[in-house]
Amino acid sequence: MIRIDIISVLPGLLEGPFDHSIIKRARDKGLAEINVHNLRDYSNNKHRKVDDYPFGGEAGMVMSVQPIEAAITQLKSERNYDEVIYTSPDAPKFTQSVANKLSNMKNIIILCGHYKGVDQRVRDHLVTMELSIGDYVLSGGELAAAVITDGVVRIIPGAISDSSSALSDSFQDNLLSAPVYTRPANYKGWTVPEVLTSGHAAKIDDWRHEQALEKTRRLRPDLLDDD
């Protein structure tokens, strides 16, 4: 089982994403435990503040060290964590290979970024991994935390009924997935490639690989450049 503890300024944003579909089934089966912690509960400020003005006069607010350190220290006093992840747009990209790696871990903390980000000392002394879900800025890291959690939990053995399905997803072999079709084989003259209805497994595998290569070259050539 994997345990994921998410630290957030706005925990209400995460009430829905984990109560449906594959993630819910994984939780129900005891394959994943997901806990969301309100950062304000760890603030020593009487008004439960978790941010302050940045030194140097820059615009915006910065997440303070104290409540973050208190939250992480409390969690780490209860169990050992494999990674303490910080979500930020200026971090390395979250990829399928990262999801695969994290899915084999036991305990993970995800700290959701907010405002202008966290005091750099959090990144220097408390965080062990930083992840971004794309080159854009969101209102907070909660959506990123949900994306990372979903990407990790869904590939845990047993989370998906057909475990081989996850192995054929895009990016698992550094390629985009081949086109997929279902019945009817002919819909208003729009037909399914004959090879898929041939019953010839080897030819179907070859077709899927060729299609995956062509699709990747056309849409994401950068994936092939990484080889």
**3-state secondary structure labels for all residues of the chain:** CEEEEEEECCHHHHCCCCCCHHHHHHHHCCCEEEEEEEHHHHCCCCCCCCEECCCCCCCCCEECHHHHHHHHHHHHHHCCCCEEEEECCCCCECCHHHHHHHHCCCEEEEEECECCCECHHHHHHCCCEEEECCCCCCCECHHHHHHHHHHHHCCCCCCCCCHHHHHCCCCCCCCCCCCCCCCCCEECCEECCHHHHCCCHHHHHHHHHHHHHHHHHHHCHHHHHCC
Domain boundaries, the chain: 2-153, 168-225
CA dihedral 207, 210, 214, 220 (to 10 degrees): 110
Distance CA 66, CA 59 (A): 21
pLDDT tier for residue 225 given thresholds of 50, 70 and 90? confident
For the chain, give the percent of residues with pLDDT over 90: 87
Name the token pair of 76: 């780490």
| pLDDT given at position 211 | 96
Q: Which residues contact 66 (CB under 8 A, 6 or more apart)?
A: 42, 43, 44
Check: CATH 3.40.1280.10 for 2-153? yes
Query: 7 in the Ramachandran plot: left (φ > 0), alpha (ψ -120 to 50) or beta?
Result: beta
Q: Is the pLDDT of residue 120 over 60?
A: yes
pLDDT digits (tens, 9 = 90+) for 72-107: 999 999 999 999 999 999 999 999 999 999 999 999
Name the token pair of 218: 């056309």
Q: Distances from the Cα of 187 to the Cαs of 192, 194, 196, 204, 211, in angstroms?
A: 9, 14, 15, 21, 21
Is residue 75 within 8 A of residue 39, CB to CB? The reply is: no
| Domain 2-153 matches domain 168-225 at the CATH topology level | no
pLDDT tier for residue 51 given thresholds of 50, 70 and 90? very high
| CATH of segment(s) 168-225 | 1.10.1270.20
Over residues 129-133, the mean pLDDT reads: 98
Amino acid symbol at 111: L
